[in-house]
Amino acid sequence: MSSNSSSQKGFIDSAIEVARKFGFDGIDLDWEYPQTQDEMVNFGLLIHQWRAEVEKEADATCRPPLLLSAATYFVVDFFYSDVYRSYPVGLVSENLDWINAMCYDYYGSWDTSTTGAHAALYDPKSNVSTSYGLRSWIKAGFPGKKLIMGLPLYGRSWELKDPMAHGVGAPAVGLGPGELGIMTYSEVEKFNGETNATVVYDSATISMYSVAGTSWIGYDDVRSMTVKILFAQALGLRGYYF
């Protein structure tokens, strides 16, 4: 066994020990994100090693094996990245109890030129959407019963170029209210009340946005969340997480 393999095994054993000590149900892995196809291959090997050690510990202690999950990109492949790569679906399905698809942060502070529905269920102009991402996993052979849809409890804000042009995708010139243009749902509600903001449900993306002057915030509320959860149920997903 190489020194890297030994150190990795030691880390896994330590994580399992901590999970057992504190009565956790399992362990969630979070690699954001493998940057090349070689790293995707390594990701598959990594979760295979984790599964082997989890099963080995369960056999040795006569206890049910810890659950093993991982946070992943919203879509099965990085189709619009400079470096195309895709997840090893077979190994992910074989070795993980489920994946937590990160269906949010499609837009944010890295692009202040336009507003965006950062967790859009649909996008009529591109494939950057929750519906496309989750369906891509299933189309690639990943079982829906192992797929968890991520939902954000925060919004992202921009400063509008023209307060009269305030739809999703409207021209912007910078970040809006909140630290780095991020606001929790309670902060959005407070903003709406204090500024008497105009609140709009965008049926094209299944998202909400609030606008007051040049301040624009895209987020989800009860209405849009309900539609997303119904979508998850119709798709046969295992569930959703915040």
Per residue in 134-174, pLDDT (tens digit) is 999 999 999 999 999 999 999 999 999 999 999 999 999 99
Query: In the prediction, which pLDDT does 210 show?
Result: 98
% of the chain at pLDDT higher than 90? 95
Instruction: Calculate the average pLDDT of the chain.
Output: 96
Of 32, 39, 53, 194, the catalytic one is: 32
- When pLDDT is cut at 50, 70 and 90, the band that residue 10 belongs to is confident
* pLDDT higher than threshold 60 for residue 24: yes
* pLDDT higher than threshold 70 for residue 121: yes
* pLDDT higher than threshold 70 for residue 128: yes
Query: In the prediction, which pLDDT does 80 show?
Result: 86
The CA distance from 130 to 146, in Å, is 16
Query: In the prediction, which pLDDT does 7 show?
Result: 77
Average pLDDT over residues 48-55: 97
* Phi and psi, residue 145, nearest 5°: -70, -5
Query: In the prediction, which pLDDT does 1 show?
Result: 45
Query: In the prediction, which pLDDT does 9 show?
Result: 84
Q: Catalytic residue at 32?
A: yes
Average pLDDT over residues 46-65: 97
The CA distance from 66 to 104, in Å, is 27
Residues 6+ apart with CB under 8 A from 14: none
Average pLDDT over residues 110-116: 97
Per residue in 174-229, pLDDT (tens digit) is 999 999 999 999 999 999 999 999 999 999 999 999 999 999 999 999 999 999 99
Query: In the prediction, which pLDDT does 197 show?
Result: 98
Average pLDDT over residues 78-104: 97
Query: In the prediction, which pLDDT does 63 show?
Result: 97
- Taking alpha carbons only, the member of 150, 15, 8 closest to residue 71 is 150
The CA distance from 54 to 37, in Å, is 26
Give the CB-side neighbour count of residue 119, counting CA atoms within 13 A: 26
Query: Would you give the end-to-end CA distance of the chain in angstroms?
Result: 39
Average pLDDT over residues 114-126: 97
Domains of the chain: 3-110+118-152+221-241 (3.20.20.80), 154-219 (3.10.50.10)
